[in-house]
């Protein structure tokens, strides 16, 4: 889990995944035959084999905010990068690339209701626009600042969506000492703003099969919307979400691999959102695509929560399907 801690503590808002990319390349270079970085900044790691060409994808980017205006008193107005729930970020800390920390506040009239984004601001303690501009410029992005905690079999951190997916791919690569299939492990950019890195990477790789590894919502908290995914019940094998109907052959191969290796799993039907699978399966003439999902509570918040046992199940299933698909 030390690697997962390092990955989540790194900041990589969509379009600025540099630090995460460097960390991943350093970690995987001895476990693959070659590594390329494409024009979108995605990492494509090739583990050569003579069998089927299979692409695994996990996105490196995380949600964040972008400075849009600085007022005369030094308060920074901002917009979202990726999906943000305003009621969950009020009073949260954000960290700009230069290390400056800000606190998200809202105009007084917004305190007793769900605040709208245009009524919120970032406070870095500056007394004027001139002082604020010494540290932050319009167009600068910031990630949510949060710590990393392990307790009671869970991990609590920001950016588990989707550094947990990156961690799962890395650990699966390490497990595969010899692989018969021709494997591409792709760490994509800009998923949170439209599955963009996956689209170009899949076009370049042109796989026969693909598996996206990402997170999914759960239905196991008090009075949560009904959903048959819970923490501590294993890897989630996706049936569908708003971006993809997963290929039946890939899905059945995952179920068979999980049963054979006695890997705990559960089935996922997600009514909202999507993953890199949505872009990959429509690439070129189409790709037979499935997805492995990590159950996650409090998604797109600074305190995302996942089960360590579920993470390990996802690692095992990813490694198993790489050689059995």
Domain boundaries, the chain: 2-62+158-324, 64-144
Answer yes or no: same fold for 2-62+158-324 and 64-144. no
Model confidence at 145, in pLDDT bands (50, 70, 90)? Answer: very high
At 114 the pLDDT is: 77
- Average pLDDT estimate for 82-106: 92
Mean pLDDT of 72-78: 97
226 or 109, greater pLDDT: 226
Q: Output the average pLDDT for the chain.
A: 95
Polymer length of the chain: 325
pLDDT-derived band of residue 102, with 50, 70 and 90 as boundaries? very high
Structure confidence at residue 71 (pLDDT):
97
CA atoms within 13 A of residue 116's CA, in its CB half-sphere: 3
Domain covering 64-144, topology: Elongation Factor Tu (Ef-tu); domain 3 (2.40.30)
Between 146 and 306, whose confidence is greater?
A: 306
- Give me the sign of the Cα torsion angle 195, 201, 204, 209: negative
How many beta carbons lie within 10 A of that of residue 257, not counting itself? 22
- Which residues are known catalytic residues? 191
Reported as a single tens digit per residue, the pLDDT across 290-304 is: 999 999 999 999 999
The Cα–Cα gap between 124 and 94 comes to: 10
The pair phi, psi for residue 268, each rounded to 5°, is: -120, 125
Distance between CA 293 and CA 183 in Å, rounded?
19
Contact 175, 263 (CB under 8 A): no
Max Cα-Cα span within the chain:
64
With contact defined as beta carbons under 8 Å apart, do 59 and 188 qualify? yes
Is the distance from CB of 315 to CB of 169 less than 8 angstroms? no
**Is it true that domain 2-62+158-324 has CATH number 1.10.3720.10?**
no
Give the per-residue pLDDT at 323: 87
Say what the pLDDT of residue 85 is.
Answer: 86
Per residue in 206-262, pLDDT tens? Answer: 999 999 999 999 999 998 888 999 999 999 999 999 999 999 999 999 999 999 999
What is the model's pLDDT at position 299? 93
- In this predicted structure, the answer to whether residue 110 has a pLDDT above a threshold of 70 is no
Residue 146: pLDDT above 90?
A: no
């Amino acid at each position: 889990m030390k690697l997962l801690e390092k990955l989540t503590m790194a900041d990589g808002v969509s379009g600025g995944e540099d630090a995460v990319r460097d960390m991943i390349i350093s970690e995987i270079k001895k476990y693959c035959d070659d590594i390329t970085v494409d024009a979108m900044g995605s990492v494509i790691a090739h583990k050569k084999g003579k069998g089927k060409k299979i692409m695994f994808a996990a996105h490196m980017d995380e949600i964040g905010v972008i400075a849009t205006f600085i007022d005369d008193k030094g308060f920074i107005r901002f917009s979202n990068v990726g999906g943000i729930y305003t009621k969950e970020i009020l009073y949260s800390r954000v960290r700009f690339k230069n290390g400056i920390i800000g606190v998200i506040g809202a105009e007084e009239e917004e305190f007793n209701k769900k605040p709208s984004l245009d009524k919120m601001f970032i406070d870095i303690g500056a007394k004027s626009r001139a002082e604020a501009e010494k540290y932050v410029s319009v167009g600068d992005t910031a990630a949510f600042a949060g710590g990393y905690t392990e307790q009671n079999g869970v991990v609590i951190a920001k950016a588990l969506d989707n550094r947990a997916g990156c961690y799962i791919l890395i650990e699966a690569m390490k497990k595969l000492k010899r692989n018969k299939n021709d494997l591409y492990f792709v760490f994509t950019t800009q998923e949170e703003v439209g599955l963009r890195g996956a689209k170009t990477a899949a076009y370049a790789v042109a796989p026969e099969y693909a598996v996206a590894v990402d997170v999914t919502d759960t239905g196991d908290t008090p009075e949560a919307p009904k959903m048959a995914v819970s923490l501590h019940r294993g890897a989630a094998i996706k049936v569908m979400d708003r971006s993809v109907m997963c290929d039946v052959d890939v899905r059945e191969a995952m179920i068979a691999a999980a049963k054979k290796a006695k890997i705990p799993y559960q089935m996922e039907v997600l009514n909202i959102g999507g993953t890199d699978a949505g872009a990959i399966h429509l690439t070129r003439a189409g790709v037979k695509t499935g997805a492995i999902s990590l159950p996650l509570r409090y998604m797109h918040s600074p305190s995302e929560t996942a089960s360590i046992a579920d993470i390990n199940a996802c690692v095992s299933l990813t490694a198993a399907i790489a050689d059995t698909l």
